Amino acid sequence: MSEPASIRPPQAPASRPASRQSWLAAQGRLPLAFMGLALIWLAIGTGLLVVHPGLLTMPHAAPPVIALTHSWMLGFFVTVACGAVYQLVPVALTTTLWNENLGWWHFGMHAVGVPGMIYFFQGYQLKEVGLFGSAVALGILCFTLNTWITVGRSTRRDAVAWSIILAAGWLLFAVLAGLFLVCNRLWTWVPVPPLALLRAHAHLGLIGFFLALLQGVAFQLIPMFTMGEVRDWGAAKAGLWFAQLGLVALVPALIWQWTMLTYLGAVAVTIGMVFSGYGLKQSLATRKKRKLDPGITVFLRGGIGLAAAALAGVALTLPDSTRSTAVGGFNPIIYALCGILGGLLPCIAGMMCKVVPFLTWMRVYGPLVGRRPTPPAHSLTQPHLERWGLGLQQLSVLPLLAGAWLLNDFWLRLGTSLLAVGVILFLMDMAGVLKHLWFPAAAPAPTPALKPKLT
């Protein structure tokens, strides 16, 4: 498998011998650490859902539901996304990460803060949640500064660069808003309903960080892995800025419960997603690699799931809607399931199927290129595990939606079981890739030269 030109490392001078301490060998350590931690949280989040499927029938502001949500959002999705940004920003912007040590400080604070938050959320012990949340916030501050300074050192200012800048800023804002929400519950600084603040906090993360990041980096990664190109950046820019405009309207509208502005903000975000989808469709039309890998296919399906969530959000914000606090039927849990498991999970898991093998290959086999035969990056994965794992994860969304809609225990258990099997297969595939970090594939034995027969 040849490396895409946009992620090929700089060539070392011919006189410099290859070594394990070369740029190529060092590349990927920090991103891989975040990816490994995220996979642990994927297992934990899935386990919590399997053990307690009834959480999907509870109000979305219940403490156990908040704990479950943070195990997925902070534990898995944010961890993967931060690791991907640490890898993508230097590569996409042809620069170097400003301070790798700061990234490791972020990793340490994130690894300690997130489990503490989730543990104390279960019992609604807000002082302890605030303590561990402060560690998470300090880590995200390190991430945001590192990202902004790295982007600032480059000259690129297109939709990809702006999406990274905006996403990092919104993530910090979302985490600080979460800390404020905890403090406000303890000491009532501002007389605003906690549920309104909780919804604003959730959308700062979901739209401000994840959607903004996907609306930019998709135009870097999809052309790279499909050997295509972005010929017209207009749709990418329009999609990003429409969604940003919608978020700026949506957050204050949710806090102060301005119904019409909430609806208009949700519509603007949806329009932004339509523009981004159209731009990606144009890019895919230019691809030279006609057959899409399972990871890319599932990523694109995740975009459809996010679009379904956006439409559900628009419906929930209709001025005459009475479903904003309901359980059963069409309710906020349906919206969350569409966005998190139907949209974000396939997007993130699909890209991990491409990024993790490449990072592992760079770390283990990159320095050996030209010295001995090396396996291609795509051979590190097991395609059958990818297809079944990702497919079952997507399939699980249907019974989960049915169970949350009908408040039916059978459908919930069926959905969580399918999700668990899909996640296990996916983790097996990722473990098979990561094992190369410790157990590299042996070089094939050289073929002996044939000696001519003497007559």
Tell me, rounded to whole angstroms, the distance of Cα 166 from its chain centroid: 15
Residue 86's closest CA among 176, 228, 217? 217
Note whether 133 and 176 are within 8 A (CB).
no
Predicted pLDDT at 447: 53
**Distance between CA atoms of residues 351 and 430, nearest Å:** 12
Encode the chain (455 residues) as per-residue pLDDT tens digits.
Answer: 344 444 444 444 443 444 444 444 456 899 999 999 999 999 999 999 999 999 999 988 889 999 999 999 999 999 999 999 998 888 888 888 999 999 999 999 999 999 999 999 998 899 999 999 999 999 999 999 999 999 999 888 899 999 999 999 999 999 999 999 999 999 988 888 899 999 999 999 999 999 999 999 999 999 988 999 998 899 999 999 999 999 999 999 999 999 999 999 999 999 999 999 999 999 999 999 888 888 999 999 999 999 999 999 999 998 876 666 667 888 899 999 999 999 999 999 999 999 999 899 988 888 888 788 888 888 898 999 999 999 999 999 999 999 999 999 999 999 999 999 999 999 999 999 999 999 988 765 555 555 555 54
CA-only gyration radius of the chain, Å:
23
Predicted pLDDT at 232: 85
Helices in 98-227 by DSSP H: which ranges? 100-122, 126-152, 159-187, 194-203, 212-226
**pTM for the full model?**
0.90
Q: pLDDT, tens digit, for every residue of 157-213? A: 899 999 999 999 999 999 999 999 999 999 988 888 899 999 999 999 999 999 999
Both structure tokens of 230: 């972005």
